[in-house]
Structure 1
Amino acid sequence: MRERLDSRTREQVFTQARSQNAWLAHPVPDELLQELYELAKWGPTSMNCSPMRLTFVRSTDARARLVSAVSPGNVEKVRTAPVVAIVAYDTAFYEQLPKLFPHRPNAGELFRDQPALAAETCFRNSSLQGGYFILAARMLGLDCGPLSGFDAGRVDSLFFEGTSLRANFLCCLGYGDPAGLFPRSPRLEFDEACVIV
């Protein structure tokens, strides 16, 4: 049995962490983005399918393209965050299964022959991986601002045209400006959200 993590860790990752709306002008180096992926990739997925693909938007040109696809309330967040990750999924994820799930070398055929199962699997598991990504970022001292207010079809055409990648959600990364925070919203109590059967 593993030991419980200390309260400071729980605070940084969950109870005191906030979704950020404004950003300080501190850069996020490439090495930290690589470290972030190297940590997040270890979260479990079904059949180790690992469909998440990340595009880190930092350049002026790429940022302008991304800004054109987000809802008005998210423009400033995307414009000012040091980095914005497009958390995407690979609809042809099963092509990597011979590498990722080697003890069942024909696993990819299951998904190749069942497109609905493949679509459900890659979306669900990339969403799981996106959650791991946020937790890993917080563990490395980064703040996050996940966003779903954007035109996914436009992001796909701007960044993934001619590929098997599709956008799931966006996540601003950097160091949050506390001045941009709203009062913390409540959460449901155990009895409102859970049953033990």
Structure 2
Amino acid sequence: MAQPRGRPEISRLEDPAWRAPAGDVSDITAGTETMRTPRALSTYEDVISKYQESRPMSIDIASEIDLDSELVLDSTAAAALFLEARTANSWADEEITDETLQAVYALTKMGPTAMNIQPLRISWIRSAEARERLVTHMADGNKAKTLTAPMVAVLSYTNEWHELLPTTAPHAASMVPMFEENVETRNAMAANNAHLQAGYFILAARSAGLAAGPMTGFDAEGLNAEFNADSPFSAFMVINLGKPNGVVDRARLHRLDFDLATATL
């Protein structure tokens, strides 16, 4: 049974009080997906409310376990990186220095990738001219915030990462000819590992005191023609960066609890 992505799995409701009499069901459409629910529950919010009554779930993971006793990070670091950090749509009016960007990359590059291939390539969009060029390719809902962010990073991956194996993974240097002949494999490895590095990038930005606003709503073909022409780079994410301004657009959305999202085999 389909349910909107990122929301509790309605199919896991086992409370008998939840179950409607046979035939007493209706369709609820959320986004592009439709699920079957009791007719008494007319909206998705009703569904979630009923679900939480039968199986309470915490939005704040800090209330589920004693994090301080389990983490090597202190509470301030855990809050800055995870618990209090939010996706940003506006920022303080403060310039981000090149030294800060270098610090962000210094941390990003240390995260593991398969065979240490490090396919991520970053274009820092600082000038007004480059920003205007970028905004023309962003989805309408992303244009204004991309135009006003103190810094924007275009994240791309290169499918020619194999050429650097003698440097990044000397023990695998003999595999360069094999990867040269397998473009599809190179592309898949590049995309998978660059997305992994994007996660490191966001945490690195937060470590440097920045708020990040990652976006995938843009015309990839147009953006690549604009910024990655005549290169082996493919853009896959744009991230707005800036110092936090204290503005919170809405309450934090639900995070799935441990029992729902994990299994021990």
TM-score of the pair, normalised by structure 2: 0.71
Alignment-derived partner of residue 173 in structure 1: 241
Q: CA deviation at 1:176?
A: 2.8
Alignment-derived partner of residue 155 in structure 2: 87
Cα-to-partner distance string for 1:31-65 (whole Å, 9 max, x where unaligned): 11111111110100000000000000010110001
Matched, 1:131 2:186: no
Matched, 1:41 2:109: yes
Cα-to-partner distance string for 1:138-197 (whole Å, 9 max, x where unaligned): 111111011111111111000010100110101111113333522111111112211111
Cα separation, 1, equivalents of 2:99 and 2:112:
24
Task: List runs of 5+ in structure 2 lacking aligned partners.
Answer: 1-70
Q: How does 1:55-74 map to 2 (within 5 A)?
A: 55-74=123-142
Q: The residue matched to 1:155 in structure 2 has which SS?
A: helix
Alignment-derived partner of residue 103 in structure 1: 171
Letter paired with 1:71: A
Letter paired with 1:171: I
Alignment-derived partner of residue 155 in structure 1: 223
Alignment-derived partner of residue 52 in structure 1: 120
Partners of 1:22 and 1:178 within 8 A in 2: no
Alignment-derived partner of residue 146 in structure 2: 78
Partners of 1:101 and 1:107 within 8 A in 2: no
Letter paired with 2:97: P
Alignment-derived partner of residue 14 in structure 1: 82
Higher alpha-carbon Rg: 2
Letter paired with 1:173: L
Cα separation, 2, equivalents of 1:118 and 1:98:
16
Cα separation, 2, equivalents of 1:179 and 1:104:
48
Matched, 1:191 2:252: no
Matched, 1:113 2:181: yes
Partners of 1:98 and 1:107 within 8 A in 2: no
Cα separation, 2, equivalents of 1:113 and 1:185:
45
Letter paired with 1:159: F
Cα separation, 2, equivalents of 1:79 and 1:126:
25
Letter paired with 1:145: G
Distance 1:42 1:32, change over 3 A: same
More RCO (CA 8 Å, sep 6+): 1
Q: The residue matched to 2:171 in structure 1 has which SS?
A: coil
Cα separation, 2, equivalents of 1:9 and 1:21:
22
Superposed CA RMSD in Å reads 1.4
Cα separation, 1, equivalents of 2:193 and 2:107:
16
Q: The residue matched to 2:247 in structure 1 has which SS?
A: helix
Identity of aligned residues (%): 37
Cα separation, 2, equivalents of 1:21 and 1:176:
10
Q: The residue matched to 1:103 in structure 2 has which SS?
A: helix
Q: Which moved more, 1:172-181 or 1:4-13?
A: 172-181
Cα separation, 1, equivalents of 2:248 and 2:73:
29
TM-score of the pair, normalised by structure 1: 0.95
Structure 1 moving runs of 4+ over 6 Å = none
